[in-house]
Amino acid sequence: MFCYQCQETAGCSGCTQSGVCGKSPEVAAMQDLLVYVTKGISEITTRLREEGKKVSPEINHLITLNLFTTITNANFDEEAVVSRIITTIEAKKELAGQLGNKNNLNEAALWEADRKEFAAKAATVGVLSTENEDIRSLRELITYGLKGLSAYGKHANALLNDDEEVDAFLQKALAKTLDDSLGADELVALTLETGKYGVNGMALLDKANTTAYGNPEITKVNIGVGNRPGILISGHDLRDMEMLLKQTEGTGVDVYTHSEMLPAHYYPAFKKYSHFVGNYGNAWWKQKEEFESFNGPILMTTNCIVPPKDSYKDRLYTTGAAGFPGCRHIPGEIGEEKDFSEIIEHAKKCAAPTEIETGEIVGGFAHNQVLALADTVVGAVKSGAIKKFVVMAGCDGRAKSRNYYTDFAKALPKDAVILTAGCAKYKYNKLELGDIGGIPRVLDAGQCNDSYSLAVIALKLKEVFGLEDINDLPIIYNIAWYEQKAVIVLLALLYLGVKNIHLGPTLPAFLSPNVAKVLVENFGIAGIGTVEDDMELFFGKE
């Protein structure tokens, strides 16, 4: 196997024996093959569109879910991945039959075989099948961005929001990663275009979420526990959240969020449920301890799954793109009501969660809420009470080097405000960082996709201050990345013209030296240093 799509890749170069994430070589191989056939079907759909033919939403959803399934920590279930490959091969055959011109299709579009031939084929179509390291780097950078985009697209689709333009781009760009006639310059341009559609994809999801559930608002979230049994829901899918809250109402079972589901508490539509008790635990990588002590069943709606311990494996359920062998998967297509009754009955037999923390955290600073406070925020900037905003969005992870972000948050000057989104926040959202004239020094916009809100806020501030360039704002970008959703967020920021983004704790292994050079020279992308050095870099000498 060879996989280098996430920040924790072995030796900062690539997982070759098994994944640091727990992905087996067999699953890695089937994921490679799934990406391959998905690129193939995307070439067919792209050509169908060029021929003026319509591609159905079902096919768009199939492609989106295929990519999402291969995101880091989403699906460890080989058979689930194989079944998607088989479905995709069938769909390819049918769609190819609708093509007027079948000449010069890539082999990925035409390939079909029996299950027993999958492993041999997978060994020839992985990342290393592109020999030139710069072309490989750009193809993977684009593919990972599209994986992130697919995750956001899937959540919007679950709320019956589709954007045919985003789907058409995603498929065209995927197909282009098969095209040997494209050189580095064309792929760099495609990378930036991916960022453009990243903005569109996040805007689509923002619209879907806020239309369905209202605009996130400032909210104090309880981090303690009640005395009734509970279900812990994690991942990012708000439609699943809604169905679970509805189905648990009046059952005597409480609902808690874990990790990236925390921002669900900020939405008016969910706040009304009295059994929606609070947020339990921290970021995804703490699952082993926190799922153990939660005592009740856990529903993973997306990544990030940590391979579960036997002690709670029978309490772990998956749905949507998520999967783990031996854990029960709750089915349900887009538009269908999922049946969570099995989880609810399971919860009733469990003890209440063991308390691991008490108190509250504050969040809900998505664009609508921050813009409602615009006068206060702008006043604080004008008076000098706020000197800098520091965007610290992104992901958390296991690496000890990520303690940098806790130390960095602590070391920030008292007139700096952190803007965050994604699970990166758990590195500093329980510190006592205080407020500036009533504005908390950590403003949490929501999930990683809500980085969109941070971009909207930046663009609004640029307008209010009458600036020509977004980079003239007093905003520093110090982003922590882990998996492919962070890649699409990064590409979206680059597309919006944001320069000098610092990315850590390490730069992606999939950037070849030449591709890294392009990003450094054109966008000022940089890594991180020590907290001390970075304080001096960002704020000057004391």
Q: How far is the CB of 17 from ligand FSO (least distance, A)?
A: 23
Query: Which region, judged by CB under 6 A, interacts with ligand SF4, from 19-27, 47-55, 278-286, 353-361?
Result: 19-27
Please tell me whether residue 534 binds ligand FSO under the rule CB under 6 A.
Answer: no
The 295-314 contact track toward ligand FSO, x by CB under 6 A, reads --------xx----------
CB of 194 to ligand FSO, least distance (A): 16
With a CB cutoff of 8 Å and minimum separation 6, the contacts of 65 are: 84, 150, 154, 320, 321
4 binds, among ligand FSO, ligand SF4, none (CB under 5 to 8 A by kind): ligand SF4
Nearer residue to ligand FSO within complex by CB, 191 or 447: 447
CB 509, min distance to ligand SF4, A: 8
CB of 71 to ligand FSO, least distance (A): 7
Q: Where are the beta strands (DSSP E) in 347-422?
A: 360-363, 388-391, 416-420
CB of 447 to ligand FSO, least distance (A): 6
CA distances from 352 to 1, 355, 389, 423 (A): 42, 9, 40, 25
Contact present, 159 and 239 (Cβ < 8 Å) = yes
Q: Report the residue from 61, 315, 485, 502 that binds ligand FSO according to the rule CB under 6 A.
A: 485
CB within 8 Å of 92: residues ≥ 6 apart? 37, 40, 41, 44, 109, 110, 112
Distance between CA atoms of 34 and 28, rounded to whole angstroms?
10
Which residues in the 199-238 window bind ligand FSO by CB under 6 A? 236
The binding track of 64-93 with respect to ligand SF4, each residue x by CB under 6 A or -, is: --------x---------------------
Instruction: Name the residue with tokens 């591609």.
Output: 55
Residue 9 binds: one of ligand SF4, ligand FSO, none (C-beta under 5 to 8 A by kind): ligand SF4
Binding positions for ligand FSO, 407-466, rule CB under 6 A: 422-423, 447-448
Cβ–Cβ < 8 Å for 354, 105: no
Candidates 166-174, 346-354, 456-464, 478-486; binding stretch for ligand FSO (CB under 6 A):
478-486
Q: Does 363 bind ligand FSO (CB under 6 A)?
A: no
Q: Show contacts with ligand FSO in window 126-145 (CB under 6 A).
A: none
> What is the per-residue DSSP string for 75-129?
B--HHHHHHHHHHHHHHHHHHHTT-S--TT--HHHH----GGGHHHHHHHHSGGG
With tokens 């959240």, the residue in question is 241
The Cα-based distances of 449 to 150, 207, 245, 263, 338 in angstroms read 11, 12, 22, 11, 24
Residue 161 has φ and ψ, to the nearest 5°, of: -110, 125
Residues pairing with 416 in the sheet: 388
Number of neighbouring beta carbons within 10 Å of residue 337? 9
- Sketch the per residue contact string, 21 through 60, with ligand SF4: x for CB under 6 A, - otherwise: x-x-------------------------------------
Q: Which parts of this chain interact with ligand FSO (CB under 6 A)?
A: 236, 259-260, 284, 303-304, 395, 422-423, 447-448, 482-483, 485-486
Q: Which parts of this chain interact with ligand SF4 (CB under 6 A)?
A: 3-6, 8-9, 15, 19-21, 23, 72
